[in-house]
Structure 1
Amino acid sequence: MGPVLGHLLADMESAQYNHAWGCIPTSFKVISVWQPPLGNCFKLNFDGACFDDGAASGYGAVIRNEKGEVMAALAAKGGAVRDSEEVEVFACRKALEFAIDAGFMEIILEGDSFRSISINCVRRTANGVAHALAGFTRLIDDDIVWLEEDPLTVVDALYLDANALN
């Protein structure tokens, strides 16, 4: 597993549930049977599978309502993967793309590989650093990774965030 993927997985594992619509439970417990979503949300469950020692992979996703009725489902082939952690990250991404393409915007995301995943909907003003980094990509040819250092290209956005904390 590469350092970027490992960092992403560590971040996802340390996340806590929080959602603007109040449809994600705030308590953490290991759930061994499927439970319907609370409120007016849909539940998106995903999983990934490795085949032929990672030479191929596959993704599965299902979106259900509060009654457990299937609203949409997906089975998709994936490419080669390094390990089971990588296929789970790809499955999560494919599931989110599927849900958005199908028009589901208020979802609870569940998978069986991470301890927890937190996805918060925020305004652009609360997402300024990531927005600035996304805009910066038009000026680069290859990926750039910063580990435990401030990207100089977004110092203004970081400053605004720091001021908001004080």
Structure 2
Amino acid sequence: MEEAKVEDLIVPGDCRWDEETIRIIFSERDSNLIMSIPLPKQQMRDQRNDKCWNNSTIMHHQQLIRKAHNFLISWREATAFQNLANQVQPTMNHKWIKPQAGMLKMNVDAAINKHDATMGLGSVIRDEDGNFVAARGAQWRGIFTPREAKAVAIREALSWIKSHNMDNVNVETDSLQVVQCLNSKGGVSSFHLIVEDIKHLLHNFCNVFLSFTKRSANQVAHVLARQSCSLSDYSEWFHTPPPIICNLLVSDLC
């Protein structure tokens, strides 16, 4: 499908769509859309009538081919974007969900305090039964954009679990931009450089992956991140959670 050309979708020697080929390559909806574009033989006849009655300009057949070609390019771009969205959509939960058996789930978030020029990072790990495993809160000096702050939080969380030799972890973030950027070509902004760090860190694990979730399913990490803005450095908790998130841990299981 990626290599299909407009010429491949037209019956050789006859200016009409090759319906059989189109329906093999595309879905029924997209096939109907493509075949609804008039090709020279059909549209020339329509244009001659329009020229006769309305004195409109007749489009050259090469222009019609280009029109079909542009449509196919637009269709590919829209489909590529939709495929990326489909990879993300299944994890867009409004409520926190336990990880699969044998997996841990780490929720990550960042909070920005513009007044004090700081940001807080929060990471909370739970097991397949929803039991608390570990958490980390840290304060960072400096002002970052929201997407940069979210990316830094993910990078630091991955470095943290790496230092503790953890694996089999589903990392959840409510930053759709970071998740999408992981599946696209890199850029030169500071945000893209942080994302590149995330990509390199992910290569150090056997089974650690990043997915998107709604803010409502990421509250425990958000509250810890907000609280961490006032920390002097960082704090870690193992087995016993910090009091600030205890109620949220319970409500996530209800």
Report what 2:136 is aligned to.
74
Report what 1:52 is aligned to.
114
Report what 1:110 is aligned to.
172
Residue by residue, what CA displacement relative to the aligned partner does 1:52-102 show, whole Å, maximum 9, x if unpaired?
258211100011100111111001011213311110000011111111122
> Runs ≥4 in structure 1, deviation > 2 angstroms?
14-17, 115-118
Whole-Å separation in 2 of the counterparts to 1:93 and 1:63: 15
Report what 1:160 is aligned to.
none
Match of 2:124 among 62, 81, 98: 62
Ranked by relative contact order (alpha carbons within 8 Å, sequence separation 6 or more), the top structure is 1
Indicate conservation of the 8 Å contact 1:44/1:99, yes or no. Answer: no
Q: Secondary structure at the match of 2:167?
A: coil
Structure 2 unmatched ranges of 5 or more? 1-83, 189-254
Structure 1 unmatched ranges of 5 or more? 1-13, 18-25, 121-143, 146-166
Whole-Å separation in 2 of the counterparts to 1:53 and 1:88: 19
Question: What is the aligned-residue identity percentage?
Answer: 27
Q: How many pairs align?
A: 100
Report what 2:102 is aligned to.
40
Distance 1:115 1:90, change over 3 A: closer
Whole-Å separation in 2 of the counterparts to 1:32 and 1:75: 24
Report what 1:86 is aligned to.
148
Distance 1:64 1:95, change over 3 A: same
Q: Secondary structure at the match of 2:93?
A: coil
Q: Secondary structure at the match of 2:154?
A: helix
Residue by residue, what CA displacement relative to the aligned partner does 1:129-156 show, whole Å, maximum 9, x if unpaired?
xxxxxxxxxxxxxxx95xxxxxxxxxxx
Report what 2:57 is aligned to.
none
Output the TM-score relative to the length of structure 2. Answer: 0.35
Whole-Å separation in 2 of the counterparts to 1:29 and 1:115: 14
Distance 1:101 1:65, change over 3 A: same
Match of 2:93 among 28, 31, 34: 31
Larger Rg: 2
Compare the two structures and name the one with the higher helix fraction: 2
Distance 1:115 1:35, change over 3 A: farther
Report what 1:97 is aligned to.
159
Whole-Å separation in 1 of the counterparts to 2:148 and 2:163: 23
Residue by residue, what CA displacement relative to the aligned partner does 1:9-48 show, whole Å, maximum 9, x if unpaired?
xxxxx4876xxxxxxxx96242111111012110010000
